[in-house]
Amino acid sequence: MEARSHQEFVVQGIAASKGIAYGQVFVYLQSNVEVPSYVVDPSRKEEEIRRFEKALVVTRQQIQKIQEEVARNLGQNEAAIFDAHLLVLEDQALLSETIRAFEDSGKNVETCFHFVAKRYIEAFAAIDDEYLRERAADLRDVTQRVLQNMLGQSTSSLSQLVDKRIVVANDINPSDSASIDRSQALAIVTDTGSKTSHAVIVARSMKIPAVVGVGDLTSRVQEGDWAIVDGYDGVITINPTEQTLFRYGQIRIQKNSFEQRLIEANTQPAITLDGVSVSLMANIEKTEEAVMVKDYRAEGVGLFRTEYLYLSSARMPSEQEQFIAYKSVIDAVAPQPVVIRTLDLGGDKQFTGKNDLFPEEDNPFMGFRAIRFCLENVPIFKEQLRAILLASAFGKVRLMFPMISGSEELARAIVLLEECKEELKTRGQAFDRELEVGTMIEIPSAAMTADILAQQCDFFSIGTNDLIQYMIAIDRVNNRIAHLYEPTHPGVVRMLKRIVDEGHRAKIPVAVCGEMAGDPVFVPLLLGLGVDELSMTPPLIPAVKYLVRSMSMADAVKLAEKALTMNSAKEIFALCDEFYRTRVNVG
């Protein structure tokens, strides 16, 4: 056993990739490129633009080389991460704005590119959606690489790790994560980041633990410190004692055993002990994620978020581009169904290409977004509706409208959908004449008028993230009050019951596609309340299926009935947690 002279301390972060690792720390600190600013002689303007274009070409070659290495070492899915980087280098809005800023200001092109890219990065970093917020990391990574190439600086790399190490970094950009020596990295820990960061995606592919959001750990550890990384609970223990090492040795054995049980359970159908079949669907954001639907044995796509098609470029995607993207998902999961949600853009998900489309708002969560934006921008909306209709000719497709607040909005959206059907008939193009249309229930006014909305659509899908946020006036990304975000608040439980009852009264199915659906602790409550379908991020399916196969629906109904009589969120959570723990031995 190696000697450890420093005192043990523990840091809590966000569990991002499962597993437990023990080893010495390698501290990796990135620094932003220092960009000089100066006025370019007018006679050298063309030369300056050529210098910029050359840096773009060199950057493209570097990224393509990284992509090839990732495809060879980790696989095509992981290599697809860098498609977004290559698109940045082709983004005409970004590039033309840089040239325009250069021509207007006369400043060196590095300064202009840095200024324009920074504005785009800040726009994406402000997005509430965790996955889409990672678009800022793509932009930041490419920007740094272009600037380094223009300034003649060498790029940093994690490819030369000495011996096996736990990498602790302030952040790890996609290029760095792709260059990590998989034989030497024991785990990845970052001060910032999220569960959907590229470093995390790579860590999962490499099957090594990862914990993100640990604050200022890079300033608290030293090169060579020893650490335990717990990728299950998001805990980092620096300089662990012998007692801690023994405890984690036992935990690792138990966790490995439980993981094996999950894998085995996922090969079986999601049927409760008393014979009730439960439909488990997948939430996806990008077309390349469709492969995970079958990998994790989902019964289809319960939520395909289409915002990425708009946020991955500075221009609106055409009807044909959208059709190709939707059809690729349909083909990948056939013969299973795909629920396509129409555009939820605006508010905190700002489209950077045409800022005049979106007004600045003090409260974007309740602002000009989703269906409100679509109903005010009919040509854009109808392009998407036609693309979805065209794709519906190639498989089982359902269409779903987000952020509906009442029957008038839903009626207007359906009228536009019918107009699109007539336009396609006139063109002589095929589509599913029986296409099912659903409504997301994520605003309290929609929940309270569920009986009215149920008469206008074919299914409900409850977006618990926003519904809870709006119901109890909690901003989930505000650290000061995020702890008050309580899925088991009595008001939330009663509202869920109302939505389900009204849907069933109208003989339409009710799904849940928010975070509650992927949490095994809450799944019995949702099923007991009568929810027909659960849709979640694909990797969460095995744990949910394992829980479903370990419980009876009769017990879930009793759980929900009891929860509806309780007075506090803590009491209801304790009830749900006990139900879960008595049926699942997680070790």
As averages over each run of 10 residues, the pLDDT of the chain (587 residues) reads 64 88 84 79 88 88 78 67 77 86 89 86 70 70 82 64 80 68 82 71 77 87 89 92 88 78 85 97 88 92 89 78 95 96 68 52 60 90 96 97 95 97 96 96 96 97 91 64 73 97 98 91 97 92 93 98 96 95 76
Q: Is residue 188 part of a domain?
A: yes
Q: Same domain, yes or no, for 357 and 397?
A: yes
What is the domain range of residue 417? 262-583
Domain boundary among the residues 107, 133, 151 is at: 151
Per the listing, tokens 């049926």 go with: 583
Per the listing, tokens 């697809």 go with: 80
Q: Same domain, yes or no, for 374 and 495?
A: yes
Per the listing, tokens 């007004």 go with: 359
Q: Same domain, yes or no, for 234 and 280?
A: no
Q: Same domain, yes or no, for 140 and 183?
A: no
Question: What pLDDT does residue 359 have?
Answer: 55
Q: Same domain, yes or no, for 310 and 406?
A: yes
Q: Is residue 35 part of a domain?
A: no
Q: 3-state DSSP call for residue 128?
A: coil
Q: DSSP per residue over 493-510, as a string?
A: HHHHHHHHHHHHHTT--E
Q: Same domain, yes or no, for 269 and 310?
A: yes
Instruction: Specify the CATH number for the domain of residue 316.
Output: 3.20.20.60
Domain boundary among the residues 126, 151, 176 is at: 151
Q: Same domain, yes or no, for 14 and 79?
A: no
User: Which amino acid would we find at residue 13?
Assistant: G
Q: Is residue 415 part of a domain?
A: yes
* Nearest CA-CA partner of 299 in 340, 341, 333, 263: 333
Q: How far is CA 282 from the centre of its chain?
A: 12
pTM > 0.75: no
Q: Is residue 552 part of a domain?
A: yes
Q: Same domain, yes or no, for 147 and 177?
A: no
Question: What pLDDT does residue 31 have?
Answer: 61
Within 10 angstroms of residue 467's Cβ, the number of other Cβ atoms is: 25
Q: Same domain, yes or no, for 24 and 68?
A: no
Q: Is residue 453 part of a domain?
A: yes
Q: Is residue 302 part of a domain?
A: yes
Q: Same domain, yes or no, for 210 and 340?
A: no
Q: How far is CA 537 from the centre of its chain?
A: 8
User: Which amino acid would we find at residue 349?
Assistant: K
Instruction: Compute the distance between CA of residue 242 and CA of residue 557 in angstroms, rounded to an integer.
Output: 46
Q: Tell me which residues are annotated as active site.
A: 198, 513
Q: How far apart are the first and last CA of the chain?
A: 26
Strand pairing report for 185-190 and 279-284: unpaired
- Count of domains in the chain? 3
Instruction: Specify the CATH number for the domain of residue 18.
Output: 3.50.30.10
Within 10 angstroms of residue 274's Cβ, the number of other Cβ atoms is: 11
Instruction: Compute the distance between CA of residue 446 and CA of residue 452 in angstroms, rounded to an integer.
Output: 9
As given in the structure block, the two tokens for residue 20 are 């437990």
Give Cβ neighbours of residue 431 (< 8 Å, ≥ 6 apart).
389, 390, 392, 393, 421, 424
Q: Same domain, yes or no, for 317 and 377?
A: yes
* Nearest CA-CA partner of 461 in 571, 293, 341, 317: 341
Domain boundary among the residues 92, 121, 151 is at: 151
Give, to the nearest 10 degrees, the angle between helix 109-125 and helix 45-73: 50
Q: Same domain, yes or no, for 163 and 144?
A: no
